[in-house]
Structure 1
Amino acid sequence: MRIYLLIHYNLGICYLRSKKDLGKAIGYLEKAIEHISKKHNAFAYEERNAPISAHFELGKAYQLTNKLDEATSQFRKCIALLPKRNLLQEELSRHIEMCEFAKSQMANRLNVKISNLGEKINSTYSDFGPILNTDESIMAFTSNRLGSTGQEIAKNGNYYNDIYISNSDGHFWSDPQNINGKINSKFNDVAAGLSSDGQQLFLFNDQTGYSYLYQSNFFNGEWSPIEFINENMKDSSLESHSSISLDGSLLYFASSREGGYGGTDIYRCRKLPNGAWAKAENLGPKINTKHDEISPYIHPNGSILFFSSKGHQNLGGFDIFSSEIDENQELATPKNIGYPVNTTGDESYYVLNAEGRRAYFSSTKPGGLGNEDIYVAEFFDYEKIAVTILKGTITIKDQGDSEAQAEILVYDNADLSSPPGIFKPNSSTGKYVIVLKPGRDYKIEYLLNDLIVKTDHIFVLEESVYQEIEKSVIMEPIELDAE
């Protein structure tokens, strides 16, 4: 009858890997460990016993269901049975550390309300990678749901990923729309980053056999065909989730390129004065570990980097971390953002809003609609981040010329030798959003067709709190007499 124990082991592994029914994974693996063999031969058809690693797998199933003491017990049993030099020993010890850390985090949980974005956004498939503009009116995300472009199924048995867009009126999200055929292809297309104004989309796809970063711009109500970002971003490796700083001068992204510290590391590119991107630089061992680091996100204030990692001190799987950035662009030691945002499962693609009290992220936690869902977290004890949001609507009066171009130039009066920040209103709605840092005196110029229409001066106090300034401007094209 022991043949059934090995079947139980294999079924338990399948349920554990899929994470669809961890209760069944535990049931099968509990049965499998009744007969363990130190001489287990996975390639012998007459093998009837489960391997020693069944204790490890059962421990992971317990860990994912927050049965942390039971998980630790299984990890210790596996350590005792395996040779001391076995490669699993280090990983087993790390899992015990994660369980202990998870218990401490659960005892000091954050004061937060976490909500699944529901059937409007999530499906029974995988929905992940929310990226938003600064005023949270636009959200792009990735899904392998039914209805993908090309309707083709990948080797993993799922539909290829497509990018979807949803808009918010401040209360509800609209039904997601497949972004368009100029961006989505019959291969994997993944939303990687969105500019603060929501008009520049970064994405990657694998239609060439590699996952390169591309960009698309929103103009006259539609997204442009994708363009490769820069040769210095090109590498025969996995290039994934990215985030661009508010002023467009820094681009953070994850890559598995050679020369890193682990499987996937986080890199940073600086924009050169000529508009090209400099060579990517690895963020170093303070951020990157021998494990995977993914989904970087730079907060609109430019002073906080969020990312997910399987390394550092975490509860299990991918956890979300934050690292403060000083004025010299040096990063501080990462901090785990805590439970219950982070769980013993995988959490990633974290986006904290400008105010600092609401965040969107992806999670594989139990209870979702699909394999991975998008959630929103409302923090009750977080202090508002000291940033000033300048926003409004640019209206072009009597616009007969559809080519009329409005721009907003933002100058730091203490550093007039540096080029201004250049912002463009949404080409469809005319809305714009700009984040101003505290302790600075700004000159704001509103231009139409390169002519200054209006100039404002805004001084943001060093000790200022979160605030929003509404500035709407009506522009009228100036007709110049031809001579």
Structure 2
Amino acid sequence: MCRSIFILLFCLLIGFPSSAQKKYTIKSKRAIKNYELAAEAYRYMDNPKALSYLEEALKQSPEFIEAWLFKADVLHQMGNKKLEIEAYQKAIAIDVNYFANVHFNLANAYLSIGAYEKALQKYEDFLELPKISGRNKNLALKRIKNCQFAIQAMANPVDFKPVNLGKSVNSSFDEYWPSLTADESLLVFTRLISEKQQGTEVILKRQEDFYVSHRNDSLWMPARPLSAIINTENNEGAQSITADGKYMYFTACDRSDSYGRCDIYYTVREGDIWSEPINVGRPINTKAWEAQPSISADGRELYFVSNRKSGKGNMDIWHSSLLEILSDGRQRWTQPTNLMINSANNEMSPFIHAGNQYLVFSSDGLTGMGAYDLFKTERQSDGNWSEPENLGYPINTYSDEMGLIINAKGSKAFFSSDRLQGKGKDIFSFDMPIAIQPKSVSWLKGNVLDAKSKKPVTASLLLIDLQAMDTIAHISSDRKDGSYLVCLPAGKEYLFSVSAPNYLFYSDHFAMLNDQEKSKPQTFNIYLNRIEKGREIVLRNVFFEIDSWEILDKSKMELNRLFDLLIAQPKLRIEIAGHTDNTGSEDHNRLLSANRAKEVCNFLIMKGINAERLTFKGYGASQPVTDNISEEHRALNRRTEFRVIDNE
């Protein structure tokens, strides 16, 4: 069976059993004999021997056009683009009309080395020829667009100054597919270790494993194997981690519990220990090829690549949402949907940014520099994805570009390359051009602890967009140390709530709208109080109309959290307390605060809480938590609290 898709002519010629049945453009029997010996070697995939026979044939008959074309095909298989181009040029010089596809093949060779002007000319030459195949005609038209795009892109390059991550991360082996936590403290990547026979280039073993490097200040520490539980004698790769580094999704092939050849697995980290990997299962994994997962910051959205038959092209990007985590730790996901951005060709290496609104992927089906290019698309207000935008030159080149990720801030990208200064494939970073940056995502991290004992608490952390009334993140703190990390995309107003069984919940409010200082990453510990008589909690996400006790709609998410607590603790009795700043008279403030507290009680009663479990009181401005000098301080004094009266 012929291995080349470039020279169909020779699939016909070398298939005949007798040279007497063949008609060549030359008569030299010695040249023809060497040509046929080359064809035999080619069948057995011995390209060096085939090339040797062809060179001998051409020494004997330099005008042997079939041999020049065959030589070009062999050189293409061997990856020698320069000599491949020379062979095509020799064939054209002998007879420009002998084989129409030689112009198409030569254009492809020029395109593959980034010689766009020459490729454009040869594609145009090819289209002027009579009786060309419809398939190649369509491909030539598409590649003309690629050439035109590339010429324009190279005339208007984007800012691109890649920096090697250094010897702590990169080695003499290939490193690729980086994954990064939101705080950029932990980097996970794939390393391909090759064992060669001593004194030769013969590869005895190729092993893909995960490695991890921690950042200390601005320096990456020496990388080490991620975990003996995850790294096996087989290959693992193409991983993606959640923003807090607690969950990792990756590709593994030919395992005993696989649904197809390659499946997606996940593992969970507690402290420094990773769990035994679990197959994600159906409906994500099928008999088809599933790989290259990208997990959203909070672990609730999964993007991956599959060649399942229901797709648009060969390899497509698919999306699924987490339904629930079962008691045994296994996950249930929605039926995957095919993204609208997919082309009729291949889309690969998806990366969803921490804000879950910006997707980077690689495609050879969209207009670009000729091979796999990197594109970005952004989620629109209607939930659809925008028209993909090429990231530009020289981020994209004539080579394949895949596996790019961007930090949560949106300012820096990480990728692997073997076309830059390094040892094989190395991991690099570069500053993202401002015009194509995703919106910045801040983060909040720390530990959830018991307020008295200071011991870690396993808690549920909830982040809600108060404007859209949408859950942005729902994660758990680490069981061993109580650590957590949650991303805060810019431009939104958030309710942040932390709860655990037998504890009063913690409530906070973040307005990441215009205040750049508040939008900076923050680190602080959360101390949860057990449900005890006299304990007080500020409801930081309860809001009223100005100088009114009308509850704003965005307060309902917080009040529902209080309702849930009262349902979970049926013996709990509380007092709702209203407080104001010192603006206005004492009587006015006391009446306003009392009516606000009463309105909160009415809300809970309307939802089904027994009125006997609730009392309310307005304290006016008599119990400030700070002075009233600034508006910021006055806002802290205007608050609604609840206090535990009894829990028995």
TM-score normalised per structure 2: 0.62
Match of 1:13 in 2: 76
* Cα separation, 1, equivalents of 2:102 and 2:172: 30
Residue 409 (structure 1) aligned to one of 455, 462, 473: 462
Match of 2:302 in 1: 251
* Alignment-mate amino acid for residue 242 of structure 1: P
* Cα separation, 1, equivalents of 2:176 and 2:350: 14
Matches within 5 A, 1:325-404: 325-365=379-419, 367-370=421-424, 372-379=425-432, 381-382=434-435, 386-387=439-440, 389-394=442-447, 396=449, 404=457
Q: 8 Å contact 1:30–1:58 — kept in the other structure? A: no
Count the aligned residue pairs: 454
1:200 Cα deviation after fit? 0.4
Q: 8 Å contact 2:446–2:484 — kept in the other structure? A: yes
* Alignment-mate amino acid for residue 313 of structure 2: G
1:154-192 Cα deviation digits (max 9, x unpaired)? x99861322222222242222322222321222221133
* Cα separation, 2, equivalents of 1:103 and 1:373: 28
Matches within 5 A, 1:184-199: 184-199=231-246
Match of 1:21 in 2: none
| Between structures 1 and 2, the one with greater helix share | 2
Distance 1:395 1:461, change over 3 A: closer
1:244-286 Cα deviation digits (max 9, x unpaired)? 23343321111111111111001111223676211111113xx
Secondary structure of the residue that 1:375 maps to in structure 2? strand
Match of 1:294 in 2: 348
Secondary structure of the residue that 2:293 maps to in structure 1? strand
* Alignment-mate amino acid for residue 280 of structure 2: I
1:332 Cα deviation after fit? 1.1
Matches within 5 A, 1:49-448: 56=104, 58-76=106-124, 83-85=131-133, 87-146=135-194, 159-208=206-255, 210-272=261-323, 276-284=332-340, 287-365=341-419, 367-370=421-424, 372-379=425-432, 381-382=434-435, 386-387=439-440, 389-394=442-447, 396=449, 404-413=457-466, 421-425=473-477, 432-438=484-490, 440-447=492-499
Distance 1:341 1:383, change over 3 A: closer
* Cα separation, 1, equivalents of 2:491 and 2:434: 25
Q: 8 Å contact 1:203–1:215 — kept in the other structure? A: yes
Larger radius of gyration, structure 1 or 2?
Answer: 2
Secondary structure of the residue that 2:138 maps to in structure 1? helix
* Cα separation, 1, equivalents of 2:122 and 2:203: 30
1:347 Cα deviation after fit? 0.9
Secondary structure of the residue that 1:365 maps to in structure 2? coil
Q: 8 Å contact 2:229–2:276 — kept in the other structure? A: yes
1:235 Cα deviation after fit? 0.8
1:241 Cα deviation after fit? 1.3
Secondary structure of the residue that 1:409 maps to in structure 2? strand
* Cα separation, 1, equivalents of 2:140 and 2:172: 33
Q: 8 Å contact 1:393–1:425 — kept in the other structure? A: no
1:2 Cα deviation after fit? 3.8
Q: CA RMSD in A?
A: 3.8
1:411-440 Cα deviation digits (max 9, x unpaired)? 444576x66833345667765432224454
* Alignment-mate amino acid for residue 225 of structure 1: E
1:123 Cα deviation after fit? 4.2
Q: 8 Å contact 1:111–1:381 — kept in the other structure? A: no
Q: 8 Å contact 1:113–1:379 — kept in the other structure? A: no
* Cα separation, 1, equivalents of 2:420 and 2:436: 30
Matched, 1:467 2:519: yes
* Cα separation, 1, equivalents of 2:441 and 2:344: 38
Q: Which moved more, 1:204-213 or 1:470-479?
A: 470-479
* Cα separation, 1, equivalents of 2:285 and 2:408: 31
Q: 8 Å contact 1:26–1:62 — kept in the other structure? A: no
**Relative contact order, higher structure (CA 8 A, sep 6+):** 1
Distance 1:413 1:104, change over 3 A: closer
* Cα separation, 2, equivalents of 1:324 and 1:465: 26
1:323-358 Cα deviation digits (max 9, x unpaired)? 110233211111111111111111111212222221
Match of 1:45 in 2: none
Distance 1:161 1:90, change over 3 A: farther
Secondary structure of the residue that 2:139 maps to in structure 1? helix
Q: 8 Å contact 1:123–1:145 — kept in the other structure? A: no
Q: Which moved more, 1:210-219 or 1:185-194?
A: 185-194
* Cα separation, 2, equivalents of 1:384 and 1:95: 28
1:29 Cα deviation after fit? 3.6
* Alignment-mate amino acid for residue 279 of structure 1: Q
TM-score normalised per structure 1: 0.81
1:8-63 Cα deviation digits (max 9, x unpaired)? 535632442xxxxxxx5303541454136999xxxxxxxxxx98766555544433
Distance 1:260 1:224, change over 3 A: same
1:461-481 Cα deviation digits (max 9, x unpaired)? 27869921424116489699x
Distance 1:466 1:76, change over 3 A: farther
1:68-108 Cα deviation digits (max 9, x unpaired)? 22333444455566841264333233333212211100111
* Cα separation, 2, equivalents of 1:373 and 1:289: 29
* Cα separation, 1, equivalents of 2:139 and 2:339: 25
Q: 8 Å contact 2:444–2:485 — kept in the other structure? A: yes
* Cα separation, 2, equivalents of 1:25 and 1:243: 34
* Cα separation, 2, equivalents of 1:392 and 1:431: 7
Q: 8 Å contact 2:347–2:361 — kept in the other structure? A: yes
* Alignment-mate amino acid for residue 421 of structure 1: A
Q: 8 Å contact 2:360–2:377 — kept in the other structure? A: yes
In the alignment, structure 1 segments of 5+ residues that lack a partner are 17-23, 40-49, 149-154
* Cα separation, 2, equivalents of 1:60 and 1:221: 49
Q: Which moved more, 1:193-202 or 1:108-117?
A: 108-117
* Cα separation, 1, equivalents of 2:481 and 2:505: 19
Question: Aligned residues: percent identity?
Answer: 24
* Cα separation, 2, equivalents of 1:373 and 1:166: 14
